[in-house]
Amino acid sequence: MVDFKELIADSILSEELGLTKEEIMNMIEIPADEKMGDYAFPCFRLAKALRKAPQLIAADIAAKAGDAEAFAKVENVNAYVNFFIDRAFFAGEVIDEVERRGADYGKSDGGAGRKVIVEYSSPNIAKPFHIGHIRSTVIGNALYKLYDAVGFDVVRINHLGDYGTQFGKMIVAYRKWGSEEELAKEPIKALLGYYTKFHEEAKEHPELEDEARETFVKLEAGEPAELELWEKFRTLSLEEFTRVYDMLGITFDSYAGESFYSDKMPRFIQELKDKGLLIESQGAQIVDLEPYGLGAAMITKSDGSSLYVTRDIAAAVYRKEHYDFYKCIYVVASQQNLHFKQWKKVLQLMGYEWEKDCIHVPFGLVSLSDGDDIKMMSTREGRVVFLEDVLNTAVAKTAEIMRDKDAQGVDIEEVSKEVGIGAVIFQELSNNKIKDYVFSWDKVLNFDGETGPYVQYTHARASSVLRRAQDAGADVENLGSIDTAYLGSDSAYTLAKLIYRVPEVVIEAAEKYEPSIVTRHLVDIAQSFNKFYHDEHILVDDEAERNAKLALVKASKTVIANCLGLLGIAAPERM
């Protein structure tokens, strides 16, 4: 497809200007007011070198640059050269490219030959997979899809929280109050109950905390009885988690959690000692980061057991040695900002220059619309909102809405899953990731607002137009040569421009680790398509006009489906 900035640069390029093609392309702007053209080239910086007024330079450039087929007109306004793209030419370029690339439209190969790791979701085993986990899960999955779309070889890692003193508590609680039968019936709810009871009892019997710490030390040492229970809890938890991941359509390449690195940590503890970085503090081993304003990074507790920083050092070095990553992206809540700053500083002090390629992608918190802040949920006290329950509620509410609307010819059971779960994902990804937001059912399942159901309905509407055209005798799969002169209206041109921008939007979203850039652009496309749908009579008698408009509908449908796919959301044909 034509790169219009490059085309403009070619039309401007001359020895007289003293600019390279790349410099010209970087100077080209998109005017805020469409009346000033589709692209503009400012001439202010040329005035000194050419010893001429900017508006005179602009007039000279405009006079020489107006011959290209792609330009409807080129004119100068003061110090700017304004380029108006020929609408028919533009529509033809966009439609041809979408038709040619199909499901690959929006993808590029800038990352070819380089590996990116995305670590996301990472729930704690033996604890509920609750609504608070959804942000890491769906943001991380979208980043995987975005980096895959721009050509990187992406490895998806679910760094399970399957180690630490909490498992000493869980084992102690199960031995004191648990039962095999209860565990088999509802594993996670049973384990949550045991964990809650442990903390209730520990208030009256603080010696339980010591027993839990001793139990975890045994687990780290590989005691068979502790290992057997830990493996049971881990297996049961993964089975529960997998059911939720299946609902979300999410898979991973690795479930190597914290425990995977337990035998790799001694190497790095020794390395920290050898490099003079470890200091003893009240029996614990720390790295003093006070000179950097980061406090103290604890490496081992006084009982010798490991901590997050230690395990994350081992994980990072293993990943670099094993995968030789270009980037290792960690999708973890902003609450862990200090941890990541400490950990990266320790890696830097150890001499690992690639620590700069370890990227923490923080995100804000989600709260419930009734004011029950998710961050206030406590696993210890048993107050949680299970993510599976949220997804099932979304599906049930969507099915109810669809029945009320009396959707004809729709598989309500299947589509309500696609729309309900898609609505929850879209809500998560429509907000800038760093912002806190309020989860609201009314907003999530709104078919008219800037929501997932609205975008999915737009895709279904485009599909319906194409089906009706097919039923009326149009060969939708092969529309033949398109007369794009019929696509010169404002609504058609605006839609075509939004479709044209999709590849650069995908690249921008990946570079900024911000899926909401795609989500917002997708809403713009849906709104623009619906305006085109309402403004234009598409299924007209004139075959040339009908086929031209159908070609734009078809391109829109493809692009909406592609963008929804990048967010991990289905694109229903009927709603």
SS3 readout for 506-537: HHHHHHCCCCHHHHHHHHHHHHHHHHHHHHCC
Which token pair is 386? 């299970």
**pLDDT in the model for residue 359:** 98
The C-alpha atoms of residue 104 and residue 562 are separated, in whole angstroms, by 8
**pLDDT in the model for residue 407:** 74
Quick count: other Cβ atoms within 10 Å of Cβ 472?
9
Nearest in space to 367 (alpha carbons), one of 119, 134, 123, 127: 134
Torsion angles phi and psi, residue 76, rounded to 5: -105, 140
The C-alpha atoms of residue 330 and residue 464 are separated, in whole angstroms, by 41
| Strand (E) or helix (H) holding 455 | helix 452-471
Which token pair is 371? 């004011």
Q: Is the pLDDT of residue 376 over 80?
A: no
User: The tokens 């850039």 sit on which residue?
Assistant: 517
The C-alpha atoms of residue 133 and residue 119 are separated, in whole angstroms, by 13
> Chain-centre distance of CA 19, in angstroms?
38
Q: Is the pLDDT of residue 378 over 60?
A: no
Over residues 447-465, mean pLDDT: 94
Quick count: other Cβ atoms within 10 Å of Cβ 32?
7
**pLDDT in the model for residue 130:** 84
User: The tokens 């623009």 sit on which residue?
Assistant: 528
Over residues 425-443, mean pLDDT: 87
Angle at which helices 502-511 and 490-500 pack, to 10 degrees? 40
**pLDDT in the model for residue 377:** 40
Helix (H, G, I), strand (E, B) or coil at 253: coil
Q: What value does the mean pLDDT of the chain take?
A: 92
pLDDT in tens, 22-79: 999 999 999 999 899 999 999 999 999 999 999 999 999 999 886 778 999 999 999 9
Q: Is the pLDDT of residue 155 over 80?
A: yes
CA atoms within 13 A on the CB side of 17: 24
The C-alpha atoms of residue 1 and residue 4 are separated, in whole angstroms, by 9
The C-alpha atoms of residue 422 and residue 563 are separated, in whole angstroms, by 13
Select 387-566's CATH number: 3.30.2020.30, 1.10.730.10, 3.40.640.10, 1.50.10.10: 1.10.730.10
DSSP label at 80? E
Nearest in space to 258 (alpha carbons), one of 159, 170, 346, 171: 159
Which token pair is 83? 């380029």
Work out the pLDDT band at 206, boundaries 50, 70, 90.
Answer: very high
The C-alpha atoms of residue 533 and residue 461 are separated, in whole angstroms, by 9
More confident residue, 267 or 386: 267
**pLDDT in the model for residue 343:** 97
> Chain-centre distance of CA 3, in angstroms?
27
Beta-sheet pairing, 327-331 with 358-361? parallel
- Specify whether the CB–CB gap between 487 and 88 falls below 8 A: yes
pLDDT in tens, 167-185: 899 999 999 999 999 998 8
**pLDDT in the model for residue 166:** 86
**pLDDT in the model for residue 372:** 41
437 strand-pairing partners = 366
Angle at which helices 87-101 and 543-566 pack, to 10 degrees? 60
Over residues 461-473, mean pLDDT: 96
The C-alpha atoms of residue 55 and residue 47 are separated, in whole angstroms, by 9
Out of 202-216, 298-312, 353-367, least confident range: 298-312
DSSP label at 330? E
Over residues 409-422, mean pLDDT: 94
Residue 112 class from Cβ within 10 Å (0-12 exposed, 13-18 middle, 19+ buried)?
Answer: exposed
Work out the pLDDT band at 262, boundaries 50, 70, 90.
Answer: confident
Helix (H, G, I), strand (E, B) or coil at 154: strand
Quick count: other Cβ atoms within 10 Å of Cβ 214?
14
Q: What is the pTM of this model?
A: 0.91
Sign of the C-alpha dihedral, residues 535, 538, 540, 544?
positive
Give the whole-number percent of the chain exceeding pLDDT 90. Answer: 79
pLDDT in tens, 221-237: 889 999 999 999 999 99
The CATH topology of domain 4-85 is Gyrase A; domain 2 (3.30.1360)
Helix (H, G, I), strand (E, B) or coil at 394: helix
Work out the pLDDT band at 445, boundaries 50, 70, 90.
Answer: confident
End-to-end Cα, the chain, rounded Å = 33
Active-site residue set: 127, 130, 133
**pLDDT in the model for residue 146:** 98
Q: Which CATH architecture has domain 115-270+300-368?
A: 3-Layer(aba) Sandwich (3.40)
Beta-sheet pairing, 71-77 with 284-288? unpaired
The C-alpha atoms of residue 402 and residue 399 are separated, in whole angstroms, by 5
The C-alpha atoms of residue 519 and residue 566 are separated, in whole angstroms, by 9
The C-alpha atoms of residue 5 and residue 58 are separated, in whole angstroms, by 17
In the chain, % helix, strand, coil (3-state, to 5) comes to 60, 10, 30
The C-alpha atoms of residue 526 and residue 556 are separated, in whole angstroms, by 8
The C-alpha atoms of residue 458 and residue 526 are separated, in whole angstroms, by 6
Q: How do the domains of the chain map onto residue ranges? A: 4-85, 115-270+300-368, 387-566
Nearest in space to 345 (alpha carbons), one of 358, 334, 362, 330: 358
**pLDDT in the model for residue 446:** 83
Nearest in space to 327 (alpha carbons), one of 134, 146, 160, 517: 146
Which token pair is 306? 């490991």
Beta sheet of 39-42, edge-to-edge order: 39-42, 80-85, 71-77
157 strand-pairing partners = 119, 254
**pLDDT in the model for residue 369:** 62
